[in-house]
Amino acid sequence: MSKICIGVIAGSLRKASYSKRVARYVAGLFPADFAATFIDLADLPMYNQDLDDEGAAPEAWTAFRRTVAAQDAFLFVTPEYNRSFPAVLKNALDIASKPAGANQWAGKPAALISQSPGNLGGALANQHIRQPMNFLGLKLMAQPEQMIAEVATVLGADGEITSEHKRSSLAAFAEAFAGWVRENA
């Protein structure tokens, strides 16, 4: 039996980012028939349509598009930067949706987790990123929402979740996501 390929994308470039640590924790909750592919965004040049139009897309774009195309579904984990989501995530969405007619996101199930050291849990980033994701045809899971407030207080140094309540909440989220993927893949 082949595994269901889940692309896991963290919207932070920092090595020890909260988003990457949360993403790894949640991927560890996936069912046995799911295979997580952690997709790094650090080496993606900014999107410039001229390069696609001229047939000069950077290899990093081409490789990223192939990786996105190979996934059955996606888990996005984003921090909140200045009341929105990071540019690196918007760039990734743009790259894999281009050139026109070659949108690699369309029709694939996805879920979203936002996190923040503040008490809103990245709620504005969570809502802002949904607009381009919906436009690109990602089938976003609406419920349960997962916004992790004061992430530094619930995330241990080794990436473990130290709050029993948050462990339970993330387990329910991972279970709902697995169901969402199975219904929509």
**E strand map for the chain:** 4-10, 34-38, 73-79, 109-115, 139-140, 146-148
Residue 158: pLDDT above 90?
no
Residue 55: predicted pLDDT: 96
CB 73 within 8 A of CB 109: yes
pTM over 0.85: yes
Q: Which two tokens stand for residue 185?
A: 């893949």
Average pLDDT over residues 27-50: 98
Band of residue 185 on the pLDDT scale cut at 50, 70, 90: confident
Q: Which residues contact residue 8 at a Cβ distance below 8 angstroms, ignoring those fewer than 6 apart?
A: 23, 26, 27, 36, 37, 38, 39, 74, 75, 77
Domains of the chain and CATH, by start: 4-184 (3.40.50.360)
| Mean pLDDT, rounded, of the chain | 96
Band of residue 52 on the pLDDT scale cut at 50, 70, 90: very high
